[in-house]
């Protein structure tokens, strides 16, 4: 066995021993008594996860999950975050600065275990899979939670999975309730949901974008990822009463050729404005430069009339940021004169 592999396995064993002593009290079998109201059990993606006490050393593996925990005022109970596409949500900068960033992309299993986590959360099961397996975390006694918005998606095929039913904000609110219950901050969760509902209603009050067609481009200019019918962009499109030109596919993010995009000729282009550097045309500015210079896309109606709505990548994924997406797209349609 290579020396590096031996060292890696030894590291995992050492950290696992630390987890057992830190989270379980005494490795001889004595268990600390659970605080009032615990243990608590959460149904998650067909699994039941049990929380013996409010987590004190949580690791969130995706930006969406991180921002949710920060919005619940839980920065002091977090020991790591990872997998970012954008700057942290405005207003959460100070709280986020308190939490170590383990990696901009999915971190290694060893890096996560080194934080001695007592709880791991993620927006996507694929992110957990990029780190390790659910069973690996379970064997170490670390509860691992995934957003119910991802549980409702099939991971089969290309395009980041697919959905048979349109995603609804209710599943995002369920995630907030679940995590608030895990950490024992139910009142904070209820307030956050109420605030998001109020903003959603205010952004869409009286809007009428009937007959307006929209396209969502997440990233990649060579084989672009466009939003299908039923993910977070579907929530945004339905909320403003518009029409997604690729609502005939249930894939979350199908890769579509530019000739097909040009043929559908949407009225408005919602462009992912990402700060990561993993694919081509990550920022909105890079996307606009590409669209206005490409021989196929430069003649599209939205390009000629510069009808662009830049949107953070986090808002295009199911999260509390989806409400930000509703606000921004609604405002963009109104400012362009395409919606009342």
Digit-coded pLDDT (tens) for 187-233: 999 999 999 999 999 999 999 999 999 999 999 999 999 999 999 99
pLDDT at 156: 53
Cβ(328)–Cβ(233) below 8 Å: no
Q: List the end-to-end C-alpha distance of the chain, in Å, as a whole number.
A: 67
The pair of structure tokens assigned to 237 is: 């499109």
Mean pLDDT within 225-250: 97
Rounded Cα–Cα distance for residues 123 and 305 (Å): 36
pLDDT at 277: 80
Rounded Cα–Cα distance for residues 192 and 60 (Å): 19
Rounded Cα–Cα distance for residues 9 and 316 (Å): 37
pLDDT at 29: 39
pLDDT at 32: 60
Return the percentage of the chain with pLDDT > 70, whole number. 89
Q: With respect to CATH, is domain 208-335 assigned 3.40.50.1980? A: yes
pLDDT band at 14 (very low <50, low <70, confident <90, very high): very low
Rounded Cα–Cα distance for residues 309 and 216 (Å): 9
DSSP 32-57: PPPPTT-SEEEEETTEEEEESS--SS
Domain boundaries, the chain: 19-26+35-196, 208-335
pLDDT surpasses 50 at 2: no
| Topology match between the domains 19-26+35-196 and 208-335 | yes
Cβ contacts of 308 within 8 Å, gap of 6 or more: 268, 269, 270, 271, 284, 288, 302
pLDDT at 160: 79
Decide which of 3.40.50.1980, 3.40.50.300, 3.60.70.12, 3.40.220.10 is the CATH code for 19-26+35-196.
3.40.50.1980
Residue with tokens 């275990």: 113
């Amino acid at each position: 066995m290579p020396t590096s592999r031996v060292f890696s396995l030894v590291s995992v064993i050492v950290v696992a021993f630390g987890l057992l002593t830190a989270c379980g009290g005494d490795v001889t079998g004595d268990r600390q008594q659970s605080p009032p109201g615990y243990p608590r059990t959460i149904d998650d993606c067909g699994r039941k996860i049990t929380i013996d006490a409010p987590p004190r050393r949580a690791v969130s593996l995706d930006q969406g999950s991180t921002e949710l925990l920060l919005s619940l005022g839980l920065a002091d109970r977090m020991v790591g975050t990872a997998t970012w596409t954008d700057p942290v949500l405005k207003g959460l900068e100070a709280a986020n600065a308190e939490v170590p960033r383990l990696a901009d992309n999915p971190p290694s299993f060893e890096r996560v275990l080194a934080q001695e986590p007592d709880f791991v959360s993620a927006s996507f099961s694929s992110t957990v899979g990029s780190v390790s397996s659910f069973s690996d975390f379970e064997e170490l006694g670390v509860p691992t939670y995934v957003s119910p918005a991802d549980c409702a998606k099939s991971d089969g095929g290309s395009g980041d999975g697919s959905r048979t039913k349109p995603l609804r904000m209710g599943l995002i609110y369920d995630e907030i309730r679940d995590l608030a219950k895990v950490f024992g901050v139910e009142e904070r969760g209820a307030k956050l949901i109420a605030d998001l509902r109020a903003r959603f209603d205010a952004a869409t009050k009286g809007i009428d974008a009937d007959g307006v067609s929209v396209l969502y481009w997440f990233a990649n200019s060579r084989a672009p990822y466009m939003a299908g019918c039923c993910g977070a962009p579907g929530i945004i499109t339905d909320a403003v009463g518009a029409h997604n030109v690729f609502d005939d596919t249930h894939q979350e993010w199908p890769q579509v050729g530019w000739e097909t995009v040009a043929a559908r000729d949407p009225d408005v282009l919602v462009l992912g404005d990402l700060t990561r550097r993993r694919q081509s045309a990550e920022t909105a500015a890079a996307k606009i430069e590409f669209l206005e210079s490409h021989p196929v896309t430069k003649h599209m109606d939205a390009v000629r009339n510069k009808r662009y709505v830049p949107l953070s990548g986090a808002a295009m994924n199911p999260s509390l940021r989806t409400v930000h997406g509703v606000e921004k797209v609604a405002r963009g349609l109104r400012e362009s004169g395409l919606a009342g």
